[in-house]
Amino acid sequence: MEIFSKNPPKWKKEDILEELEKFKIIYAQRPIKDNIHGMRFQHMFATYFILKKINPSFVIESGVFRGQSTWLIENTLPNSKILSIDVDLTQRVYISKKAEYSNIDFKDHDFSNLPADALVFFDDHVNHYERLKQAKFFNIKRIILEDNYVDEKKADFYTINHAIKNEGFNHIYTNWSVLKTFLIFLNEFIKKLFLKKYYFKLDKINSRIRDCQPNINDFKNIEKSLKSYYEFPNLNNITNLNLKLSKIELESYNHLTFIELY
The residue ranges of every structural domain in the chain are 13-170+213-261, 172-209
Q: What is the pLDDT of residues 56-87, one digit of tens each?
A: 999 999 999 999 999 999 999 999 999 999 99
- Strand partners of residue 261: 226
pLDDT more than 70, % of the chain: 100
Homologous superfamily, domain 13-170+213-261: Vaccinia Virus protein VP39 (3.40.50.150)
Q: What is the pLDDT of residues 154-185, one digit of tens each?
A: 899 999 999 999 999 999 889 999 999 999 99
Q: Which of 25, 55, 21 is nearest to 235 (CA)?
A: 21
pLDDT more than 90, % of the chain: 90
- Buried/exposed code over 96-133 (b: 16+ C-beta within 10 A; e: otherwise): beebebbeebbbebebeebeeebbbbbbbbbbbbebbe
Band the pLDDT of 204: cuts 50, 70, 90.
confident
Contact 106, 134 (CB under 8 A): yes
Is pLDDT of 235 > 80? Answer: yes
Mean pLDDT of 193-203: 93
Is pLDDT of 30 > 70? Answer: yes
pLDDT of residue 1: 66
pLDDT of residue 153: 83
Band the pLDDT of 136: cuts 50, 70, 90.
very high
Looking at every residue in the chain, the average pLDDT score rounds to 96
Q: Rounded to two decimals, what is the model's pTM?
A: 0.94
pLDDT of residue 252: 94
HEC readout, 211-254: CECCCHHHHHHHHHHEEEEEECCCHHHCCCCCCCCCHHHHHCCC
